[in-house]
Structures are given as C-alpha cells and as structure tokens.
C-alpha cells in the first residue's frame, strides 16, 4: 500500500513540476502554454490557458499535500515498536570486556594510573572495568 502511494506521490510531484514550468511568468519563463506561437495557441486563449494551468497547479498541490500527510501517517503506524534512540542501540561489548555500571560516570577503577583498569590480572575485581575515554 505504501509503495503504491509513494509512486502516486512521485507522479503528482513530476506533474506539478511540469505544470509550473508550462506557466508563463513575468519574465517569459518557458511560456509554452499559450500566447502567440505556443503549443496551445489554437486550443485556448492566453487567459484561458493561464486559468487552466493555475487551477491544475492548485489541484496538484492539494493532492501532493494529501498524499504527503497520508504517507507520513501510514509510515508512522507501520512501526511496531516505540522509537528508540541511536544511543540506546550500541554494539555489544566483546567477550573479554564488561560494561561499566551506570553510576561510574566513566571514572577509572581504583588503583589504575593510566585512566583504565587493567583488562586481565589481579586476584579479584570488585567492579567491572570502566570504558577507556581519551582525556584531552
């Protein structure tokens, strides 16, 4: 459903671009849609062509906005879980490493001088090692 609506949305966008480019601006623009030698000169008058293109632009703009809102609603409702933060989804620690407790604040373990606790050695650890953070 979303893919079909997305294709319709893109077609509306391309049609709106084409209709806007057909309109005659103050400076002339492409001005294909009417006047002295334009493509629709025999079909409609200059004023009739301008009115038709203006109405077509308004209709396409309305359809574009409706399809945009519908896509946003459908995309939002298709998510099964609540939005998560990028910070919540990290890489799991390696087999030999352990994560620091929430209250450590990134401080080094007692007894270490380099800012990180040694990864191996020592008789018994009372706390897991804190992650190494470069100090500037």
DSSP state of 103: T
pLDDT band at 84 (very low <50, low <70, confident <90, very high): low
User: If you search the block for the tokens 């109405």, which residue do you land on?
Assistant: 55
Tell me the residue range of the domain where 61 lies. Answer: 1-17+40-75
| Overall number of domains in the chain | 1
pLDDT for the residue numbered 44: 64
In a domain, 84, yes or no: no
Q: Which of 59, 57, 68, 58 has the alpha carbon at shortest distance from 9?
A: 68
In a domain, 51, yes or no: yes
In a domain, 6, yes or no: yes
The Cα angle at residue 32 between residues 26 and 37, in degrees rounded to 5 = 100
In a domain, 122, yes or no: no
In a domain, 7, yes or no: yes
For residues 89 and 92, give the distance between their C-alpha atoms in angstroms, rounded to a whole number.
9
Residue partners of 120: CB distance under 8 A and separation at least 6: 96
In a domain, 67, yes or no: yes
pLDDT for the residue numbered 81: 65
Residue partners of 24: CB distance under 8 A and separation at least 6: 31, 33, 34, 35, 46, 50
**pLDDT value at 1 more than 60:** yes
pLDDT for the residue numbered 100: 58
pLDDT tens for 11-70 read: 999 999 999 988 876 655 555 555 544 555 556 666 777 788 889 999 999 999 999 999
């Amino acid at each position: 459903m979303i893919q079909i609506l997305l294709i319709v949305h893109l077609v509306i966008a391309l049609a709106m671009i084409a209709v806007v480019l057909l309109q005659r601006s103050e400076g002339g623009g492409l001005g294909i849609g009417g006047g002295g030698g334009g493509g629709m000169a025999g079909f409609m008058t200059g004023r009739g062509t301008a009115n038709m293109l203006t109405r077509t632009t308004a209709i396409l703009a309305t359809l574009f906005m409706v399809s945009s809102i519908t896509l946003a609603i459908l995309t939002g409702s298709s998510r099964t879980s609540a939005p998560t933060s990028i910070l919540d989804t990290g890489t799991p620690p390696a087999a030999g490493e352990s994560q620091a407790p929430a209250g450590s604040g990134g401080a080094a373990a007692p007894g270490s001088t380099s800012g990180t606790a040694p990864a191996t050695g020592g008789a018994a650890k009372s706390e897991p090692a804190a992650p190494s953070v470069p100090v500037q």
